[in-house]
Amino acid sequence: MTSLNTKSVTLKLTSGQKALRVLIVPDCRSVNPYQDLLARSLEVQGTKVFFSQGYRRILPLFRETIQPSSEIDVLHLHWISPFIKGKSRFIRTLYAAKFLIDVMLVKRSGIRVVWTIHNRLSHEAAFPNLEQWVRRKLASLVDRIIVLNQATLKDLAQEFHFDQSKAVMIAHGHYRDVYPPAICQLEARKKLNLPTHGRLFLTLGLLRAYKGIETLLETWRENQSIFANCTLVIAGKASPAYAEKLQHMIAELPNVVLIPEFIEDDRIHLFFSAASIVVLPYKKILNSGSLILAMSYGVPVIAPGIGSISEYLGDANSLLFCPDEKQGLLKAMQQSLHTDLEQLSQNTIEACDRLDWNEIGRSTKQFYQCPVRRF
């Protein structure tokens, strides 16, 4: 991942023009390039972006924004799970209350607070009811809300009890400038010691149960004759327990390669270059970075038509399936064996063209500056 080397980025402004100053929290750039790319897109618009400096145990947001050197105009919240800690419900409730008080103090100090909703709940949330309560309270506190797809705005507004006019849809941008460019498919497969013939299905990313990987493996196991000339590659970091479970599932499966380890940034392009099709067999999802990564390499995608997926793929959606259909994943995988993947890849590239970071930076800055009314 390409990361910013400084705590703030800015662009030269015309004489007398004051740059909008934005604090982005939490700082997740080390594990996700999204915030890095957002900061750079805002930089082009003349916005000065700051990230948290160090760790403050008590009221970290308020204390960060009142630093004499900051003069922050906007606090932009993203994932909130780092602020809500604790193994017990009691401890986590204390952290949740402290977080909400922190946000309230920031807002009362005159700083505009914006929240981007990346997911409905934290993946594998320990106390989902508590987290939902926090999100509803946060939605009522913040001045503005950004959602990453239009399709789920109404549902999110109902779930978190906010007026839809308080929110705007601003897309998640592509990853084209983050990782190395694609190479020849044959060369990539050789470098990865993968079969050089047949179609290769790829699932890449953090390996978690909610992503439907076990369903994918069951589909492969029950239809071995259909995929006899194909290869399935599942790659990404997994917990030791989940990696062991997946290893057990593939023990007797032909043509399945499991790599339960973190894939370094300089190897990402090899997997997407080697792939014929990316499979995202999610059980549930709101937004998917894995989808956008596949689109960034122009690789056709098999996925359920839920959350942002259909909206982002546009005309490249011919391999989407209904998650409620028992054989939906199998039918989509079968269909892909007889699909013109070259044309579908071109459709995917064109869909990805719309995820332009310059436009995202412009829209985000404009939204920061929109007049705020009481909701």
In a domain, residue 281? The reply is yes
Query: What is residue 53's predicted lDDT score, i.e. its pLDDT?
Result: 72
Task: Say if residue 4's pLDDT is above 50.
Answer: no
Query: What is residue 8's predicted lDDT score, i.e. its pLDDT?
Result: 42
pLDDT confidence bin for 170, thresholds 50/70/90: very high
Query: What is residue 11's predicted lDDT score, i.e. its pLDDT?
Result: 40
Contacts of 233 (CB under 8 A, 6+ apart): 194, 200, 201, 202, 203, 204, 256, 257, 259, 271, 274, 275
How many other C-beta atoms lie within 10 A of the C-beta of residue 274?
A: 26
Q: Which of 109-123, 160-174, 293-307, 328-342 has the lowest mean pLDDT?
A: 109-123
d(CA 253, CA 257): 9
Query: What is residue 55's predicted lDDT score, i.e. its pLDDT?
Result: 61
Mean pLDDT of 244-253: 94
d(CA 203, CA 51): 32
d(CA 369, CA 119): 24
Residues 159 and 196 occupy one common structural domain: no
Q: Which residue has the tokens 């989902």?
A: 128
- The torsion angles phi and psi of 320, rounded to 5 degrees, stand at -80, 150
Mean pLDDT of 230-244: 96
Let me know: does 22 contact 13? Beta carbons within 8 Å: no
Amino acid code (one letter) for 270: L
Query: What is residue 91's predicted lDDT score, i.e. its pLDDT?
Result: 92
Task: Say if residue 68's pLDDT is above 70.
Answer: no
In a domain, residue 178? The reply is no
65 versus 317: the higher-pLDDT residue is 317
Query: What is residue 85's predicted lDDT score, i.e. its pLDDT?
Result: 87
Q: What is the 3-state secondary structure (H, E, C) of 129-145?
A: HHHHHHHHHHHHHCCEE
Let me know: does 311 contact 305? Beta carbons within 8 Å: no
* Percent of residues, the chain, with pLDDT higher than 70: 93
Q: How far is CA 121 from the centre of its chain?
A: 13
Residues 168 and 213 occupy one common structural domain: no
Q: Which of 195-204, 230-239, 282-291 has the lowest mean pLDDT?
A: 282-291
Residues 71 and 147 occupy one common structural domain: yes
Q: Domains in the chain: how many in total?
A: 2
d(CA 83, CA 66): 19
Residues 267 and 150 occupy one common structural domain: no
* Domain residue limits at 160: 8-173+356-369
d(CA 271, CA 223): 24
Instruction: Quote the tokens at residue 325.
Output: 């259909």
Let me know: does 28 contact 78? Beta carbons within 8 Å: yes
In a domain, residue 374? The reply is no
Query: What is residue 12's predicted lDDT score, i.e. its pLDDT?
Result: 40
Q: Residue 180, preceding bond cis, omega within 30 degrees?
A: no
Residues 20 and 165 occupy one common structural domain: yes
Most confident of 249-253, 270-274, 319-323: 270-274
pLDDT confidence bin for 65, thresholds 50/70/90: confident
In a domain, residue 256? The reply is yes
Q: Residue 26, preceding bond cis, omega within 30 degrees?
A: yes
SS3 at position 100: helix
Task: Say if residue 144's pLDDT is above 80.
Answer: yes
Residues 104 and 241 occupy one common structural domain: no
Residues 159 and 242 occupy one common structural domain: no
Q: At what angle do helices 34-44 and 357-369 cross, to 10 degrees?
A: 70
Residues 167 and 211 occupy one common structural domain: no
In a domain, residue 118? The reply is yes
- The torsion angles phi and psi of 278, rounded to 5 degrees, stand at -100, 135
Task: Say if residue 7's pLDDT is above 50.
Answer: no
Residue 318's CATH number: 3.40.50.2000
What pLDDT, in 10s, does the model give residues 13-27?
A: 444 568 899 999 999
- State the average pLDDT for the chain: 91
Greatest alpha-carbon pair distance for the chain in Å reads 70
Please compute Rg for the chain using Cα positions. Answer: 22
Instruction: Quote the tokens at residue 236.
Output: 């990404």
Residues 84 and 149 occupy one common structural domain: yes
In a domain, residue 168? The reply is yes
Residues 199 and 341 occupy one common structural domain: yes
pLDDT confidence bin for 165, thresholds 50/70/90: very high
Mean pLDDT of 241-246: 95
d(CA 21, CA 8): 9
In a domain, residue 116? The reply is yes
Let me know: does 31 contact 351? Beta carbons within 8 Å: no
In a domain, residue 1? The reply is no
d(CA 330, CA 355): 29
Residues 56 and 89 occupy one common structural domain: yes
What pLDDT, in 10s, does the model give residues 263-275?
A: 999 999 999 999 9
Residues 123 and 196 occupy one common structural domain: no
Residues in the chain: 375
Query: What is residue 252's predicted lDDT score, i.e. its pLDDT?
Result: 86
pLDDT confidence bin for 253, thresholds 50/70/90: very high
Let me know: does 371 contact 143? Beta carbons within 8 Å: no
What pLDDT, in 10s, does the model give residues 78-125?
A: 999 989 988 899 999 999 999 999 999 999 999 999 999 999 887 667
